[in-house]
Amino acid sequence: MSERILTPDLCVIGAGSGGLSVASGAVQMGASVVLIEAGEMGGDCLNTGCVPSKALLAAGKAAHHAAAGARFGVTAGPVAVDFAAAKDHVAAAIAAIAPHDSVERFEGLGVTVLKAFARFEGPDEVSADGTRIRARRFVIATGAKPAIPPIPGLAETPHLTSETIFGLREAPSRLLILGGGAIGLEMAQAHRRLGCEVTVIEADRALGREDPELAAIALDALRAEGIEIVEGARAASVGAGPAPSGGVRLAVEDGRSWTGSHLLVATGRAPDVSGLNLEAAGIAADRAGVKVDAGLRTTNRRVYAIGDAAAGLPAFTHSAGWQAGLVIRSALFRLPVTAETRAMPMAVYTDPELARVGPTEAEARATHGDRLEVIRVPFAGSDRAVAEGATAGLLKLLVVKGRPVGAGIVGAQAGELIGLWTLAIGAKMKLGAVAGMIAPYPTLGELSKRAAGQHFSPRLFESPMVRRVVRLLARLG
Ligand X SMILES: Cc1cc2nc3c(=O)[nH]c(=O)nc-3n(C[C@H](O)[C@H](O)[C@H](O)COP(=O)(O)OP(=O)(O)OC[C@H]3O[C@@H](n4cnc5c(N)ncnc54)[C@H](O)[C@@H]3O)c2cc1C
Ligand Y SMILES: NC(=O)c1ccc[n+]([C@@H]2O[C@H](COP(=O)([O-])OP(=O)(O)OC[C@H]3O[C@@H](n4cnc5c(N)ncnc54)[C@H](O)[C@@H]3O)[C@@H](O)[C@H]2O)c1
Binding at 300: pick from ligand Y, ligand X, none (beta carbon under 5-8 Å per type) = none
Q: Which residue is nearest to ligand Y, using beta carbons?
A: 181
**Residue ranges in 102-121 that form contacts with ligand X under rule CB under 6 A:** 117-118
What is the 3-class SS of 16-30, one letter each residue? Answer: CHHHHHHHHHHHHCC
Separation between Cα atoms, residue 172 and residue 262, nearest integer Å: 6
Count of residues that bind ligand X according to CB under 6 A: 38
| Site membership for ligand Y, residue 355 (CB under 6 A) | no
| Site membership for ligand X, residue 354 (CB under 6 A) | no
The correct pick among 269, 356, 384, 450 for binding ligand Y (CB under 6 A) is 269
Separation between Cα atoms, residue 63 and residue 357, nearest integer Å: 31
Q: Which residues contact 413 (CB under 8 A, 6 or more apart)?
A: 353, 444
What is the 3-class SS of the chain, one letter each residue? Answer: CCCEEECCCEEEECCCHHHHHHHHHHHHCCCCEEEEECCCCCHHHHHCCHHHHHHHHHHHHHHHHHHCCHHHCCCCCCCCCCHHHHHHHHHHHHHHHHHHHCHHHHHHHCCEEEECCEEEEECCEEEECCEEECCCEEEECCCEEECCCCCCCCCCCCCECCCCHHHCCCCCCEEEEECCCHHHHHHHHHHHHCCCEEEEECCCCCCCCCCHHHHHHHHHHHHHCCCEEECCCCEEEEEECCCCCCCEEEEECCCCEEEECEEEECCCEEECCCCCCHHHHCCCEECCEECCCCCCECCCCCEEECHHHECCCCCCHHHHHHHHHHHHHHHHHCCCCCCCCCCCEEEECCCCEEEEECCCHHHHHHHHHHHEEEEEEEHHHCHHHHHHCCCCCEEEEEEECCEEEEEEEEECCHHHHHHHHHHHHHCCCCHHHHHCCCCCCCCCCHHHHHHHHHHHHHHHHCCHHHHHHHHHHHHCC
The correct pick among 45, 190, 248, 372 for binding ligand X (CB under 6 A) is 45
| Site membership for ligand Y, residue 419 (CB under 6 A) | no
| Site membership for ligand Y, residue 212 (CB under 6 A) | no
Question: Would you say 56 or 276 has its CB closer to ligand Y?
Answer: 56
The correct pick among 186, 210, 272, 361 for binding ligand Y (CB under 6 A) is 186
Residue 153 phi, psi dihedral angles, 5° rounding: 90, -20
Shortest reach from residue 439's CB to ligand Y, in Å: 26
Burial 435-454 (b: 16+ CB within 10 A, else e): beeeeeeebbbbbbbbbbbb
The correct pick among 12, 22, 23, 141 for binding ligand X (CB under 6 A) is 141
| Site membership for ligand X, residue 24 (CB under 6 A) | no
| Site membership for ligand Y, residue 56 (CB under 6 A) | no
Binding at 390: pick from ligand X, ligand Y, none (beta carbon under 5-8 Å per type) = none
The correct pick among 8, 11, 14, 395 for binding ligand X (CB under 6 A) is 14
Q: Is 204 annotated as a binding residue?
A: no
Q: Of 59-67, 165-173, 196-204, 466-474, which segment contacts ligand Y by CB under 6 A?
A: 196-204
Binding at 180: pick from ligand Y, ligand X, none (beta carbon under 5-8 Å per type) = ligand Y
| Site membership for ligand Y, residue 183 (CB under 6 A) | yes
Q: Is 186 annotated as a binding residue?
A: yes
| Site membership for ligand X, residue 241 (CB under 6 A) | no
Count of residues that bind ligand Y according to CB under 6 A: 27
Question: Would you say 251 or 264 has its CB closer to ligand X?
Answer: 264
Question: Would you say 83 or 322 has its CB closer to ligand X?
Answer: 322
Cα torsion 145, 146, 149, 155: sign: negative
Measured CA angle at 346 (ends 343, 349), to 5 deg: 155
| Site membership for ligand Y, residue 268 (CB under 6 A) | yes
The correct pick among 11, 34, 160, 183 for binding ligand X (CB under 6 A) is 183
Lay out the site mask for ligand Y across 334-353 (x = CB under 6 A, - = otherwise). ------------xxxx----
Q: Is 387 annotated as a binding residue?
A: no
Binding at 234: pick from ligand X, ligand Y, none (beta carbon under 5-8 Å per type) = ligand Y
Shortest reach from residue 162's CB to ligand Y, in Å: 7
Lay out the site mask for ligand Y across 301-320 (x = CB under 6 A, - = otherwise). --------------xx----
Shortest reach from residue 23's CB to ligand X, in Å: 11
Shortest reach from residue 52's CB to ligand X, in Å: 7
**Residue ranges in 273-332 that form contacts with ligand X under rule CB under 6 A:** 275-276, 307-309, 315-318, 320
Q: Which residues are annotated as a binding site for NAD(+)?
A: 179-186, 202, 268
Q: Which parts of this chain interact with ligand Y (CB under 6 A)? A: 149, 151, 178-184, 186, 201-204, 208, 234-235, 266-269, 315-316, 346-349
Q: Which parts of this chain interact with ligand X (CB under 6 A)? A: 13-19, 36-39, 43-45, 48-50, 53-54, 117-118, 141-143, 162, 183, 272, 275-276, 307-309, 315-318, 320, 349
